[in-house]
Chains A and B, each alone.
Chain A
């Protein structure tokens, strides 16, 4: 009798076990469904847009006036605005982030690192709307002392602050790559009489180069997708200008601008944000894939 009860219990334990296994698998599939959801959303609504505007006109047009007449749907001003801010951010974040990483991985004592790393983590955790506030109310007035014709909304201060924002991302990913460079490479160089900076710049950085480049790419992709900072500080004037002292509109800022007004669902105006979102998604996806690919492909196995 006891044996029957026991085997019955075992049976139900097994049933429970296989049910939860399927449940967990379903949980893991949610991430796949999310990706599919994003693609379906962007493609479905984008299809509504490209039914009325030719993809060629969209991708090569140099005027973006979807709300004002005469309407024109060339996405290039939004793309160039995004790239302008991103390039400025990269010019700040890549050198500073890389040198921070070198300092943390090659120079700093353990206790110094233990203080600096959490501070950089805090920097990375600050909401982007706060950076937007900082760019608009602190950095722009500061820069206006230097550049007299700097407008209130401009690409320069948005780009600089965005650069500061992604420093922790560049530094922590690059540092990870440098820390995994084996000790004996460094020691061999020291044994040959190299100084610390020679070891850092001629041994460690080249050995960790693939990880560092991947860090750069992933950080730049983050900058392209950044939204609130540029919405607040860079302005809302889509233009093909390369002058960082003037305002630009990024792809993300346009999406926010249109989300704020209540564009009727299904209208061409409403669908524009999905077409722009599609371009944004493709750009960041390509860069992320490239970053992951570089990490995997060129990982040095010592």
Chain B
């Protein structure tokens, strides 16, 4: 009963029909590709349309207020900047160190494999779970009701540092892997030992790549709201944090706070806040792209 089915049976021999199908399928693919792009365009247009009327200098320098016309996001803006730099300070040394270990030192054994699988799994853990970790470990100490770090900037930065660590590790590994082996061998030939090779040759050549990865990781961090809400809760900040042990709020939380209110005015404020947040992200991404391009042209020389 094993009847031979010619392949041509599944491909219609009718050339004209196949051509029509081909063209229509092409348009379906094209339209699908446009779905993402058009959505992005509509989103940005909508945000600009609703937000620009609220965007002025006073919006950037005022504290939040119950009256929409007096409200601003100064405390959230400063909180975001604080949090971004503290997170970078915590996560970059550890991330780069881990990347150096995995690329330059790690033997091909079970422990290394566990770390590698673990890093890629951590990158897929929902951010709110990091929030739970930070809340229970950094804000309180597990189940005890006594505050450990409390709802402070430091607790927030530690949590975000763990959240973006896998991204920094993966980006740094890629940058280190891209350093040509001939560089290392040249340095070894001159009598340098491993650490001298890494310090003097590998790290300087990998630096632009590491920097690019770090900036992208930080742009992920400052857009995160969920884990920060678990740390800071909704706080009505009418002062700016002066040191890492103070309470704080960040832009995404301030935006969420405004979106969650039913009045139309607060929606406008939310849109204006989104413009500020997107402007910061765009600037960071532009810096990363410029760095990447500069680095690429240099290594081609």
Q: A32-B115, A130-B277, A274-B132 are in contact. Are A24 and B100 (CB under 8 A)?
A: yes
User: In the assembly, what is the distance between CA of A35 and CA of B114, in Å?
Assistant: 11
Q: Which residue of B lies closest to A21 (CB)?
A: B105
**B165 interface contact, C-beta 8 A:** yes
B40 → chain A closest CB, angstroms: 5
**B93 interface contact, C-beta 8 A:** yes
B90 → chain A closest CB, angstroms: 10
| Contact between chains at A259 and B32 (CB < 8 Å) | no
Residue from the list B19, B118, B196, B277 in contact with A195, Cβ < 8 A? B19
User: In the assembly, what is the distance between CA of A129 and CA of B220, in Å?
Assistant: 12
User: In the assembly, what is the distance between CA of A35 and CA of B161, in Å?
Assistant: 14
Instruction: Give the size of the chain A interface in residues (CB under 8 angstroms).
Output: 93
8 A Cβ contacts from B130-147 to A = 130-133, 135-137, 140, 142-145
Residue from the list A128, A222, A226, A274 in contact with B136, Cβ < 8 A? A274
User: In the assembly, what is the distance between CA of A132 and CA of B252, in Å?
Assistant: 11
Residue from the list A164, A194, A273 in contact with B39, Cβ < 8 A? A164
User: In the assembly, what is the distance between CA of A266 and CA of B19, in Å?
Assistant: 67
- Among B135, B166, B281, find the residue whose CB has the most chain A CB atoms closer than 10 A: B135
User: In the assembly, what is the distance between CA of A232 and CA of B260, in Å?
Assistant: 7
Stretch at the interface among B67-75, B223-231, B236-244, B293-301: B223-231
User: In the assembly, what is the distance between CA of A41 and CA of B227, in Å?
Assistant: 15
B79 → chain A closest CB, angstroms: 15
A34 → chain B closest CB, angstroms: 5
| Contact between chains at B226 and A28 (CB < 8 Å) | no
Tell me the interface secondary structure of chain A in the complex.
helix
Q: A32-B118, A259-B229, A292-B120 are in contact. Are A132 and B256 (CB under 8 A)?
A: yes
Interface membership of chain A positions 217-261, coded 1 if the CB is closer than 8 angstroms to chain B and 0 otherwise: 010011011111001100000000000000000001001100110
**A44 interface contact, C-beta 8 A:** yes
- Among A103, A259, A292, find the residue whose CB has the most chain B CB atoms closer than 10 A: A259
Stretch at the interface among A11-19, A53-61, A67-75, A178-186: A11-19
| Contact between chains at B40 and A123 (CB < 8 Å) | yes
Q: How large is the interface on B (under 10, 10 to 19, 20 to 34, 35 or more residues)?
A: 35 or more
Interface membership of chain A positions 273-291, coded 1 if the CB is closer than 8 angstroms to chain B and 0 otherwise: 1100100110011001100
User: In the assembly, what is the distance between CA of A232 and CA of B26, in Å?
Assistant: 37
Interface membership of chain B positions 263-299, coded 1 if the CB is closer than 8 angstroms to chain A and 0 otherwise: 0000100110010011001000100000000000000
User: In the assembly, what is the distance between CA of A122 and CA of B100, in Å?
Assistant: 29
| Contact between chains at B40 and A96 (CB < 8 Å) | no
User: In the assembly, what is the distance between CA of A241 and CA of B14, in Å?
Assistant: 49
**A158 interface contact, C-beta 8 A:** no
| Contact between chains at A107 and B26 (CB < 8 Å) | yes
Q: Which of chain B's residues have a CB closer than 8 A to the CB of A27?
A: 93-98, 100-101
Residue from the list B33, B193, B234, B270 in contact with A260, Cβ < 8 A? B234
| Contact between chains at A133 and B35 (CB < 8 Å) | no
| Contact between chains at A266 and B195 (CB < 8 Å) | no
8 A Cβ contacts from A82-121 to B = 95-96, 99-100, 102-104, 107-108, 116, 119-120
User: In the assembly, what is the distance between CA of A45 and CA of B21, in Å?
Assistant: 58
| Contact between chains at A225 and B33 (CB < 8 Å) | no
Q: Which of chain B's residues have a CB closer than 8 A to the CB of A227?
A: 126-128, 225-226
Q: Which of chain A's residues have a CB closer than 8 A to the CB of B37?
A: 116, 119-120, 123
**B175 interface contact, C-beta 8 A:** no
Q: Which of chain A's residues have a CB closer than 8 A to the CB of B144?
A: 265-266
| Contact between chains at B195 and A126 (CB < 8 Å) | no
User: In the assembly, what is the distance between CA of A20 and CA of B101, in Å?
Assistant: 9
User: In the assembly, what is the distance between CA of A100 and CA of B32, in Å?
Assistant: 6
Residue from the list B98, B105, B224 in contact with A31, Cβ < 8 A? B98
**B190 interface contact, C-beta 8 A:** no
| Contact between chains at B252 and A127 (CB < 8 Å) | yes
**B55 interface contact, C-beta 8 A:** no
Interface membership of chain B positions 11-46, coded 1 if the CB is closer than 8 angstroms to chain A and 0 otherwise: 100000011011001101110110111011011001
User: In the assembly, what is the distance between CA of A40 and CA of B132, in Å?
Assistant: 11
19 contacts between A and B (CB under 8 A): A24-B100, A26-B97, A27-B100, A32-B115, A99-B33, A100-B35, A103-B29, A128-B223, A133-B259, A133-B271, A164-B39, A167-B35, A197-B22, A197-B26, A218-B124, A231-B256, A232-B259, A232-B260, A266-B145
Rank and list the top 5 A-B pairs by shortest CB-CB distance, nearest first. A225-B126, A127-B223, A27-B97, A99-B32, A24-B101
Give 14 new A-B contacts, CB below 8 A, not counting A125-B223, A167-B36, A225-B126. Answer: A17-B196, A28-B101, A38-B133, A44-B143, A99-B29, A99-B33, A100-B35, A119-B40, A127-B252, A134-B43, A228-B252, A232-B260, A252-B128, A256-B229
